Structure 1
Amino acid sequence: MSMMWVNGVATDVISASDRGFSYGDGIFTTIKVTNGVCHLLPDHLMRLQRGISALAIAQIDFDALLNQLCDVAKMLAQGVIKVVISRGVGQRGYSSVGCDSPTVVVSTSPLPSCYQAWQRDGIALGVSTVALGLNPLTAGIKHLNRLEQVLVKQQIDDNGWTDAVVLDCQACVIETNMANLFWRNGDKVYTPNLDFSGVKGLMRAQVKSALAAWAIEVVEDRFKLSSLTDADEIFITNCLMDVVPVVAIETKSYAIGSLTKRLIAHISHKDHV
């Protein structure tokens, strides 16, 4: 059962003049809930704060949001909470003058049941031909402008893929449509630099922290597709599915590596502590 609140009121109605609807002028985050507890809640709130600051959206009451998320998590027990913050209702045109009352939408949904099987068996990826644009002003932010991802998902659905590797307009690997990418080659782990495109995921940060603690070098740079496809092992990450092995990219197959298994166990342990 899904639930929704707009500015703390149980409703699924927002104004047609809301700038989130008109311009994608806002941010969001998706939170995994297990046993009535939000995973990585301080990180999610910090992500929202960073997004608000980056887009110069008026401040919201984060104490009230924290209390609401904790209350909703207890009601949900297990599933997903999504938080959307838009700049709010505005005048016609791009100007944000006078937009000082953000809209905060909290909604719930079930946690997809496929994630456990994906962690166990891995997934195959296609390679999308939809290129992401470069924009350092919004790179890394989980903003509401997701038309590029919509177009990639259309291609994924048309081809019957589970997910796809996505490149930027300079043919550098960025992410998959729903997750961040990591791969190991030899004793080093590689992940794309996201200063110009893509989303800097919270699980990505968790994985980088774990690898640093294990003294495993992580190389973050701009890589062509061949760097990824020549890897010894590949995995993807996001906050809902944690760490998932990649067992194929197009026609090339990969084994589920020992590092991937170690990370899956590590994150799972943290989730249940």
Structure 2
Amino acid sequence: MLSWVDGQPAELLSVKDRGLAYGDGLFETIAVKAGQPTLLERHLARLAEGCARLRMPVELPVVRAQVLAFSQQLGEGVVKLILTRGDGQRGYAVPQPAKPRLILQASAKPAYPAAHAEHGVRLFPCVTRLAEQPVLAGLKHLNRLEQVLARSEWHDAEHAEGLMLDTSGRVIEGVYSNLLLVSAGVLMTADLSRCGVAGVMRAELLAQADAQGIECQVRDISYAELLAADEVMLCNSVYGIWPVRALLAHGWPVGPLTRKLQAITRDLLDC
């Protein structure tokens, strides 16, 4: 597997890396098409926001240059970008000065069934809840234990994704996707100021929809509102959009706005 550490081909890391010890870092999952990373500026903007909140230095021009060069070498597939605070000694205290470590890993594009995008997927109702932590909300930080636990709740092929609520019962997202719904022509997605991951595809779709005059709302969404929606969909930066057709005994049709937004993601990702 193609991998770089700080711009050089490598497969080994120091055991002192704070990403391993404490989850002290951030990551981005970037689709690569014809040697070009898709939605790169959105990925870098989220990375910069994460570094600012974690008070971790980052040289974005260096990150950009390495991702571009790595993507050229990869050609087609997925790049996982991991930025840790680098090596540290025992204890939580941040090393001064910190020397962040940039890790790039390549993988093939996942072979998801075409039926997921065409006919929709069934959601698993996860019991694991997302804790409210505003300082980390929206960030793609390295601690994903809530998602690991949620994904361990189902093992069948019938469910392609899981629905995650927060500890107050609000609808937040999928285990590895953002959730959007349509009600009376309005495109809605959850407020992620308390928890959840602010996906780059979610941001792109909201911007595209707004540019086309589609009313968009980012707000708290109750479970009852989800069930009453006209259309429900999932999105992420690798597969684009999957319609949601069922959750337990409840079902939704694949609606016109879902299809319209899918066309946008196909142009971006060829999916």
Q: Per the shorter chain, which TM-score range?
A: over 0.9
**Residue type of the alignment partner of 2:71:** A
Contact 2:35 2:75 (8 Å CA) reproduced: yes
Partner residue in 2 for 1:201: 199
Q: CA deviation at 1:77?
A: 1.6
Q: CA deviation at 1:160?
A: 5.5
Partner residue in 1 for 2:218: 220
1:113-149 alpha-carbon deviations (Å, 9 max, x no partner): 1164321121110111101100000000000011000
1:144-200 alpha-carbon deviations (Å, 9 max, x no partner): 011000000101337962111100000001100011111111121221100000001
Q: CA deviation at 1:63?
A: 2.5
Contact 1:90 1:98 (8 Å CA) reproduced: no
Q: CA deviation at 1:219?
A: 2.1
Structure 1 unmatched runs, 5+: none
Q: Distance in 2 between matches of 1:176 and 1:107?
A: 24
Q: Distance in 2 between matches of 1:30 and 1:105?
A: 12
Partner residue in 2 for 1:7: 6
Q: Distance in 1 between matches of 2:66 and 2:264?
A: 29
Contact 2:122 2:158 (8 Å CA) reproduced: no
Q: Do structure 1's residue 186 and structure 2's residue 199 form an aligned pair? A: no
**Residue type of the alignment partner of 2:76:** Q
Q: Distance in 2 between matches of 1:253 and 1:76?
A: 40
Contact 2:17 2:86 (8 Å CA) reproduced: yes
Partner residue in 1 for 2:173: 175
**Residue type of the alignment partner of 1:181:** L
Structure 2 unmatched runs, 5+: none
Partner residue in 1 for 2:238: 240
* Secondary structure of residue in 2 paired with 1:157: coil
Q: Do structure 1's residue 32 and structure 2's residue 31 form an aligned pair? A: yes
Q: Please report the TM-score for the alignment, with normalisation by the length of structure 2.
A: 0.95
| Alignment match of 1:72 (pick from 70, 73, 84) | 70
Q: Segments of 4+ in structure 1 off by > 4 A?
A: none
- Aligned pairs for 1:1-273 within 5 A: 2-60=1-59, 62-114=60-112, 116-157=114-155, 161-271=159-269
Q: Distance in 2 between matches of 1:75 and 1:174?
A: 36
RMSD over equivalenced CA pairs, Å: 1.6
Q: Distance in 2 between matches of 1:48 and 1:162?
A: 27
Aligned residues: 270
Change over 3 Å in CA distance of 1:105–1:201 after alignment to 2: same
Q: After superposing the two structures, state which structure 1 stretch, 170-179 or 37-46, moved more.
A: 37-46
* Secondary structure of residue in 2 paired with 1:27: strand
Q: Please report the TM-score for the alignment, with normalisation by the length of structure 1.
A: 0.94
Q: Distance in 2 between matches of 1:109 and 1:159?
A: 22
**Residue type of the alignment partner of 2:38:** H
Q: CA deviation at 1:223?
A: 1.7
Contact 1:156 1:162 (8 Å CA) reproduced: no
Q: Distance in 2 between matches of 1:152 and 1:10?
A: 34
Q: Distance in 1 between matches of 2:145 and 2:155?
A: 15
Contact 1:36 1:73 (8 Å CA) reproduced: yes
Q: Distance in 2 between matches of 1:204 and 1:33?
A: 18
Q: Distance in 1 between matches of 2:159 and 2:117?
A: 17
Q: Distance in 1 between matches of 2:52 and 2:86?
A: 15
* Secondary structure of residue in 1 paired with 2:44: helix
Q: Distance in 2 between matches of 1:65 and 1:59?
A: 8
Q: Distance in 1 between matches of 2:157 and 2:74?
A: 34
Q: Distance in 2 between matches of 1:140 and 1:99?
A: 26
Change over 3 Å in CA distance of 1:3–1:91 after alignment to 2: same
Q: CA deviation at 1:100?
A: 1.5
